[in-house]
């Protein structure tokens, strides 16, 4: 059987780590990943973007887009899709396509980045406006 292991943490605490502290934690995580990979047990793994950048699509029709990862407590995370989109609008269009075939689901749209120690974190967030 496959299992999703969702990592929950106090976001403000993680964001307060120095780059060196963050790299040390992620290096240890990669060590665990390497062990799981040797056993062919690890599938995709990703660090989600900041909750302040999350969007949730819910409601009837095309749905209403609201800020944040605010699912009602009666709802559980049952799966995820990783999509390669040019920007948040394109990702929202994909989420709306999912809604067309599963209109009772709630979709949270959040940028993700893959972490490789010693390399800068790639970002899907918009660059600052000049």
- What was the pLDDT predicted at 20? 92
pLDDT digits (tens, 9 = 90+) for 8-53: 777 788 888 898 988 888 888 888 888 888 888 887 877 787 777 8
Q: What is the pTM of this model?
A: 0.59
- What was the pLDDT predicted at 102? 76
CA separation, residue 37 to residues 24, 40, 81, 82, 103 (Å): 20, 5, 21, 20, 36
Nearest residue to 26 via CA among 6, 50, 45: 45
Residue 130 confidence (pLDDT) above 70: no
pLDDT digits (tens, 9 = 90+) for 69-104: 765 545 656 567 778 888 888 888 988 888 887 776
């Amino acid at each position: 059987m496959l299992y999703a292991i969702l990592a929950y943490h106090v976001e403000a605490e993680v964001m307060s780590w120095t780059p060196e502290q963050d790299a040390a934690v992620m290096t240890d995580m990669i060590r665990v990943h390497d062990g799981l990979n040797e056993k062919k047990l690890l599938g995709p793994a990703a660090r989600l973007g900041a909750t302040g950048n999350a969007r949730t699509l819910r409601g009837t029709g095309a749905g209403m887009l609201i800020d944040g990862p605010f699912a009602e407590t009666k709802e559980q995370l049952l799966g995820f899709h990783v999509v390669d989109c040019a920007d948040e609008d394109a990702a929202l269009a994909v989420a709306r396509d999912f809604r067309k075939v599963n209109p009772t689901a709630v979709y949270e749209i959040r940028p993700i980045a893959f972490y490789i120690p010693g390399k800068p974190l790639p970002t899907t967030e918009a660059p600052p406006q000049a």
